[in-house]
Amino acid sequence: MLDRTERHQLFLQWFIFACALCFALWLAWDQGVLSQILKKDPTRVCYVISLLFLGTTVHCGVRTLFISQQLNLINELEESNDEDEAVLQLEGESVLLNKQPLKASLPVDYLRSILLRYQCCTSAPELQLEHTQLAEILAERARGQHEIGWFISGLALKLGLLGTVIGFVMMLGTVTTMESLDLSDVQSLLSRMTIGMGVALNTTLAGLAANVLLGLQYLMLDRGADKLVSHTVHYAQTAVIPRIAKNGS
């Protein structure tokens, strides 16, 4: 059972992380670091990485709030289990707790599936204990949308490596286009090579930073989803199924 101090803990952890990230980005912009990185990137790879990072961070925040709400709901069900009179039953498409309908949620959908399974399989008790597939469906619904976050996290790293290659091509291209190397051309050559080197380093830095920061967020989100699945399955196995078996006997 979740402690009261743990309610919305997942979302609050992400919110603190997001606030610290916003402060760091503002500080980097105020000091001119971000503006210099973006200005010195003619390929616009850093812009693409930045937009992907911001959009995926918002997606992670929305999913974190959703999983946090689901954890609160299963916490309420676990607290109701302490009452001896607590009764969970199925009525149509609704799941009732002490004759009060529960909100539609991932835990409630899982419990509805279990109640339907027992309702339809009263003649085959051995089938009533096979809930592995239902738990896998619950885990897929809890974590399925997180795959896009992990994909974009890897994509940001690959875009950074692509920018590195482009930067080195730009840098070496300035050398191959010169037919002769005079002292008067050295300064121009170094200037153009510096642009290519700046693209390579800046895109690599942006890709690595986006990959690490997104990975931290989605690792925290996946841990919350795993916690939701474990609490829901534990509640079903320790509270719902024993009472159904007791009432059926």
Domain spans of the chain, in order of start: 4-81+145-248
Residue 206: pLDDT over 60: yes
Q: Percent of the chain beyond pLDDT 70?
A: 80
Q: How far apart are CA 194 and CA 22, in angstroms?
A: 30
**Alpha-helix runs per DSSP H in the chain:** 9-30, 33-39, 45-80, 106-120, 132-143, 146-176, 183-235, 241-248
CA angle 36, 41, 47 (to 5 degrees): 90
CB 229 within 8 A of CB 142: yes
At 234, the pLDDT band (50, 70, 90 cuts) reads: confident
Residue whose structure tokens are 């007791």:
246
Q: How far apart are CA 69 and CA 200, in angstroms?
A: 43
List all residues 6 or more positions away from 9 whose beta carbon is below 8 Å from its beta carbon.
Answer: 68
Higher-scoring residue by pLDDT: 54, 121: 54
pLDDT number for residue 54: 94
Two structure tokens written together for 211: 């990959």
- Of 43-47, 54-58, 93-97, 105-109, least confident by mean pLDDT is 93-97
At 177, the pLDDT band (50, 70, 90 cuts) reads: low
Is pTM beyond 0.85? Reply is no
The mean pLDDT value for 185-211 works out to: 81
Residue 2: pLDDT over 60: no
pLDDT number for residue 146: 92
- Which one, of 99, 102, 98, 95, lies nearest residue 85 by Cα? 98
Residue 83: pLDDT over 60: no
At 130, the pLDDT band (50, 70, 90 cuts) reads: low
The 10 Å CB-count burial string (b at 16+, else e) for 5-20 is: eebebbbebbeebbee
Residue 129: pLDDT over 60: no
At 186, the pLDDT band (50, 70, 90 cuts) reads: low
pLDDT number for residue 105: 84
pLDDT number for residue 183: 60
Q: How many CA atoms lie within 13 A of 167 on its CB side?
A: 23
The mean pLDDT value for 97-104 works out to: 76
CB 114 within 8 A of CB 108: no
Amino acid occupying residue 210: A
Q: Please give the radius of gyration of the chain, using alpha carbons only, rounded to the nearest integer.
A: 27
Q: How far apart are CA 233 and CA 216, in angstroms?
A: 26
pLDDT number for residue 109: 86
- Of 115-119, 125-129, 158-162, least confident by mean pLDDT is 125-129
Two structure tokens written together for 186: 């050295």
